[in-house]
Chain A
Amino acid sequence: MAKNRNASQTYMRFINLAAAIRALPTFPALDAMEERVLNGLAAVWATGVDVKVLEAMNFGADTSPSTVHRRLKGLQTKGLIRMYSSPQDSRIRLIAPTDLANQYFEQMGRCLSLAVRNDAR
């Protein structure tokens, strides 16, 4: 019984370690507000429309524009979005996703598919 417990304990350590390795962070950690802003941006990008910084600042009815703007700066620092001047009007600043953001959405999509698949089983 003792030898079986040792072997199973090693196996459990292996399983838990493998899970921890899979869960190693690959993206910059986002707080709840940043995640909300990013998801809001993603919803608009998905329609093929450019997002203006001023529009993004008014995304949340319950959040002040300055708070949203701070979060946009945070997302820019973390390399998830880039802000650039509109080619048509240099006074207007637009927001675009970076490759990192696209990878993030892809990974979220994969996690969601996996969760749905496991749920269906």
Chain B
Amino acid sequence: MIRCVQLLLHIGLSAAIWVCAYYLNGWMFAAFESTRTANWVFLPAAVRLLAVLLFGGPGAIGLGIGTLVTNTPIFGWMTMPSAAVATLSAIAPYIAVRAGGALLHLPATLHGITGVSLLQLGAMSAVSSVFLHSVLFYVLGSDNGVRGFVSMLVGDVLGTLLVLYVLRTLLALGGRWRGEKLGGPS
């Protein structure tokens, strides 16, 4: 029962954070939209990476569900293209993180993961997502050519870096605040 609740929590959290990040990105970076399906800055790319790293399979499922929700204005609710894009959104980062983790010899607990290996996993996740999405869009006839591919790739990479470094800053500020509170050197 508790395992079930935990699974649902992981799926729900991943889906909710994906949806929030998607709409936040649309609000903050509307001016950077390249095509209907690509943006030069795409913050949710970091959510793909972090959801799969933290929650594994349930994280990927949550990403798929979140993508179904955010895809509705573009592909319609529960249409074939929408389901296909949602499935890819779940599978691509999952495969990239699993493959990347194996290449980097990371255990399931991520013990030993470094800042550099996190960036490497981010790059793998971005490349796999962009490549698979581009192939799918080509098959669906929504292909935006080289421009769409490049803007998706740049968007995923920039979005991932932005989120990771904002989190890094927040963690550093939190640590400094805690240090000052304890009266130690900052």
Chain A 1-39 against B: per-residue CB contact (8 Å), 1 yes, 0 no? 011001101101110111111111110000000000000
Q: Is residue B172 contacting chain A, with contact meaning CB distance below 8 A?
A: yes
Of residues 93 through 120 on chain A, the ones whose CB sits less than 8 Å from some CB of chain B are 110, 113-114, 117
Given the contacts A21-B171, A113-B185, A117-B185, A13 and B53 also touching, CB distance less than 8 Å: yes
A25 CB contacts on chain B under 8 angstroms? 115-116, 119
Count of CB-CB pairs between chains A and B under 8 Å: 72
In angstroms, Cα B112 to Cα A19, docked, is 9
In B76-117, which residues have CB < 8 Å from any A CB?
A: 108-117
Of residues 24 through 52 on chain B, the ones whose CB sits less than 8 Å from some CB of chain A are 50
Cβ–Cβ contact A17 & B110, under 8 A: yes
Query: What is the CB-to-nearest-CB distance from A17 to chain B, in angstroms, rounded to a whole number?
Result: 6
In the complex, how many angstroms separate the beta carbon of B155 from the nearest chain A beta carbon? 20
Which of B66-74, B127-135, B143-151, B161-169 is the contact stretch? Answer: B161-169
Nearest-neighbour CB distance to chain A for B47, whole angstroms, equals 13
Number of interface residues of B (CB under 8 A): 31
What is the CB-to-nearest-CB distance from B96 to chain A, in angstroms, rounded to a whole number? 16
Q: Any chain A CB within 8 A of the CB of B6?
A: yes
Top 3 A-B pairs, shortest CB-CB distance: A23-B115, A24-B115, A16-B110
Per DSSP, are chain B's interface residues mostly helix, strand or loop, or mixed?
helix
Does B184 lie at the interface of the complex (its beta carbon under 8 Å from any beta carbon of A)?
yes
Which residues of chain B (52-70) have a CB below 8 Å from chain A? 53-55
- Tell me the count of chain A residues lying within 8 A, CB to CB, of chain B: 24
Q: B181 at interface (Cβ–Cβ under 8 A)? A: no
Given A3-B6, A117-B185, A13:B115 Cβ within 8 A: no
Nearest B residue to A112 via CB reads B185
Given the contacts A3-B2, A9-B108, A113-B185, A20 and B113 also touching, CB distance less than 8 Å: yes
A2 to B54, CA, bound (A): 18
Closest to B118 in A: A20
Q: Tell me how far the C-beta of A64 lies from the nearest C-beta in chain B, rounded to whole angstroms.
A: 31
Q: A10-B55, A20-B110, A113-B185 are in contact. List 4 more A-B contacts (CB 8 A).
A: A20-B114, A21-B115, A21-B168, A26-B168
- Contact flag A12-B109 (CB < 8 Å), given A6-B3, A20-B114: yes
CB-CB under 8 A from B3, the residues of chain A are: 2-3, 6
Residues of A within 8 A of B10 (CB): 10
Determine which of B6, B119, B179 lies in contact with A24 in the assembled complex, contact meaning CB atoms within 8 Å: B119
Determine if B164 and A21 form an interchain contact, defined as CB atoms under 8 angstroms apart: yes
Known: A21-B167, A21-B171. A13 touches B54 (CB 8 A): yes
Q: Is the CB–CB distance between A24 and B108 below 8 Å?
A: no
